[in-house]
Structure 1
Amino acid sequence: MKSRRGVSSVVSTVLIVGLVMIMAVTVSVYALNFTEEKREPSPQMHATLEPVSASDGTVLVSTNGGEKLEMENVELVIRNAGNDSQVRIVNLQATGSSFNSSNIVGPESMVQSPGGELDASPSSTDGTLAAGEHMSVELPNLSQGDRVTILIVHVPTNSVIWRESTNATA
């Protein structure tokens, strides 16, 4: 009579080794796909926010360094803690900085600009925002003492690349 004990231990060892190999391949495929999805770093931007006067409501952001930014990759977020409101100016065109109601997310009455444009000066003909240029927009409903926060968001990396707050003066 032949014993089958030796055969069963060999079969179980082969099955365990096969199972471990399948698990190792599955984990390595997932890990390799995960590393390919790493995000690009967000650009650097240096700017200053000029004091905001409640009488004219003009918000002026002057860039003084950092990388050149494509306007179509930038969103401008304006928060007013005084009346607990926020507006975003989105989808700015590379050919200019004009915006209308389709570019405004939030209360449209919160922002206005002469001619319906986000004033970028000196005028950039290539649709970018670079050092030495500025952006301005008017907040018609600003009151003295309102806390205004301006954020510039880089859309491809979904990151805030600049943030500054100020209180509106008389």
Structure 2
Amino acid sequence: MRVPTVRSLTVKSQFVRVPTVRSLTVKSQFVRVPTVRSLTVKSQFVRVPTVQSLTVKSQFVRVPTVQNLTVKSQFVRVPTVQSLTVKSQLVRVPTVQSLTVKSQFVRVPTVYFFRTKNSGSFLLGNQFQIRLNSNLSVNVGTHTLKPSEFSDLNLSSIVFKKG
């Protein structure tokens, strides 16, 4: 897989009533370039999970698997991303380069969980949970992070913006 599999996947809609993407899966021995360059959802209302499962299974991931995952919505009533999982023997660079949520109201956890090879004191094995609270703090495992502590996750960028 020498070129990007998905360069841009975009949904622009006033109402998204059912899951837009039920499953996006890449299985490859070698992924030499970003598999997903941009995954964007712009909607006034997201009533059900927009992305139910985004999965990459690869022996080698040489470059970022997901370069940019962005959700822009006035209301997010249910989890926007239920599962973002990377299974790889070697992750040479950050798996998620940028994860951004821009929303006026987040009623439930936006990101249920995702896995990363990055090391850190908040890891539970190679899996930890991130939940977005009403005060925009983040639960990582049993520890609650404030926005000023996001850098401790050893990810390139995690940004939560209200409004």
Q: Shared fold (TM-score greater than 0.5)?
A: no
Return the TM-score normalized by structure 1.
Answer: 0.25
TM-score, scaled relative to structure 2: 0.26
The structure that has the greater radius of gyration is 1
Q: Which has the higher contact order (CA 8 A, sep 6+)?
A: 1
- Structure richer in strand, relative to its length: 2
